[in-house]
Amino acid sequence: MQSLKQVLEMKNQQIHQQEKKILELEKLAEKNIILEEKIQVLQQQNEDLKARIDQNTAVTRQLSEENANLQEYVEKETQEKKRLSRTNEELLWKLQTGDPTSPIKLSPTSPVYRGCASSGPSSPARLSTTPR
């Protein structure tokens, strides 16, 4: 009888320990489920961020191309403006000095003539190097 009681006590302890283990495993299973859900959420966020990065990269590429095109356009416009400015200064100098090859003559009373007379340099070489 005594030995049966001891065997029963040992079996009860084993059962109690197994119940504790089962509870711990159930808690771990719940934690795993929660962690798996978090992983799914994070994976979705990661995919969304990758898509945004790809989109931003495409936009950046497009803007870089547009910027390069605009810089090229500005450079061409600047060169054309300089060319026109040099041509204008040369023509004004020819008018001012009475160059015989110039088709137009200004009278000393002309407002353009007066503007030319007070505008500074008097040679085409000096006019073409003047920064504007």
Residue of 58, 80, 77 lying closest to 69 (CA atoms): 77
Alpha-carbon torsion 111, 85, 96, 107, what sign? negative
Residue length, the chain?
132
pTM of the model: 0.51
pLDDT at 41: 98
Q: Which segments of the chain have a pLDDT < 70?
A: 99-100, 102-132
114: Cβ contacts below 8 Å, ≥ 6 apart: 108
pLDDT at 126: 44
Give residue for tokens 């000096």: 126
pLDDT at 98: 84
pLDDT for 96-122, tens place per residue? 998 667 565 555 565 555 555 555 444
First to last CA, the chain: 118
Nearest-angstrom CA–CA distance, 23 and 17: 10
Nearest-angstrom CA–CA distance, 6 and 12: 10
